[in-house]
Amino acid sequence: MPRRYLSWMVAAAAASKTIIEVTVVGKDRKGVVADITNFIFQNGGNIEKINQNVVRGLFGMQLEASFVQAKRKDLDAGLKDLAKKLQMEIKVHYQEPDRLRNVAILVSKEPHCIKRILAGRKKGEIKANLAVVIGSEPSLKPVADEAGIPFHSVSHADQAEAERNILDLIEKYNVDLIVLARYMRILTPNFVWRYPNRIINIHPSLLPAFPGAYAYVQAYERGAKIVGCTAHFVTEDLDQGPIICQESFKVSDSDTLDTIKKKGQELEAETLFEAVRLYLEGRLEVYWGKVLVHDKSPRGKATATTSS
């Protein structure tokens, strides 16, 4: 049996258990891995995945453990004590079975992507708890207020401080998925590595073409005949994460930069929404850097994502 199908079956079997993700960051020292893993075992957990590295003396570890019955208060208290003992930052995220996924939407000024997500939830096209909207500025607070979703504006005068504030909010709302709905700030690797395959971004080009800023301008100036957008998982490498969905449109001779942007924004909203929908339905799997989209058949057949 191919590995990718086997891993899909294992993930399905784990759906009945509570999964916790523990992230540990701090100055490198001996005994950290042993202390954390022993704590998990002593509390009845089984370690499913573990990844660790040390960069310039800074230790980082991601651990995923499953529990048939997780005692959240005991786990929280124990990990808090461990954080003090080890003098490290320890954050925990819970994935309980049969719970709506908690989604954080990060925004800046442009409303088209968040409005499509809100409309999709209202129509019943997605099932999720849109837990919080975090803005790099307060422009879209009225949109969140109208939908009854808590809004937090985080100043980016100091990027490190901004990301600490966002991390606290992600933990407070026990966020499962982070959606960058035209969030016009670059998250640092120190932030991104904590959430592997849990941050989805929409980029206004058919990646890998025209990465970075001003993608529509780049396409227009180069005379591109086909323009599109890409929904992808975010990694430490800018605009190079695994591709989930891509959509495109043809550029006519009469198109201007403004008309290209208008068509592109409409497509961005739909493409990002489709990626979010697939994630919430549990149909995405990343295998060797490629996103596989599973269908809904009992056999769990998988097909690789392709561009439109």
Two tokens, residue 141: 């607070």
Closest residue by Cα to residue 149 from 163, 169, 177, 130: 130
180 - beta bridge partners? 106, 201
Whole-angstrom distance, CA of residue 135 vs CA of residue 152: 6
What string of pLDDT tens digits covers the 308 residues of the chain? 555 555 545 455 555 689 999 999 988 888 899 999 999 999 999 999 998 888 777 888 999 999 988 888 999 999 999 999 999 999 999 988 778 999 999 999 999 999 999 999 999 999 999 999 999 999 999 999 999 999 999 988 898 899 999 999 999 999 999 999 999 999 988 899 889 899 999 999 999 889 988 899 999 999 999 999 999 999 988 889 999 999 999 999 999 999 999 999 999 999 999 999 999 999 999 988 899 999 873 334 444 443 33
Per DSSP, the three-state class of 252 is: coil
Whole-angstrom distance, CA of residue 204 vs CA of residue 212: 9
Domains and CATH numbers, the chain: 18-94 (3.30.70.260), 102-293 (3.40.50.170)
Percentages of the chain per state (helix, strand, coil), in multiples of 5: 35, 30, 35
| Cis-peptide into 208, omega within 30 deg | yes
* pLDDT score, position 301: 41
Give one word for 129, left, alpha or beta, with left for phi > 0 and alpha for psi -120 to 50.
beta
Q: Is 253 a catalytic residue?
A: no
How many other CB atoms are there within 10 angstroms of residue 91's CB atom? 16
Whole-angstrom distance, CA of residue 301 vs CA of residue 125: 23
Q: From the candidates 239, 253, 258, 295, which is the catalytic residue? A: 239
CA angle, corner 167, sides to 162 and 171, nearest 5? 150
283 secondary structure, DSSP code: -
Q: How far is CA 114 from the centre of its chain?
A: 15
Element (H, E) at 144: helix 141-147
Q: Are 121 and 129 in contact (CB under 8 A)?
A: no
Element (H, E) at 40: helix 32-42
Whole-angstrom distance, CA of residue 173 vs CA of residue 171: 6
Sign of CA dihedral 52, 48, 198, 151: negative
Q: Are 127 and 286 in contact (CB under 8 A)?
A: no
* pLDDT score, position 3: 53
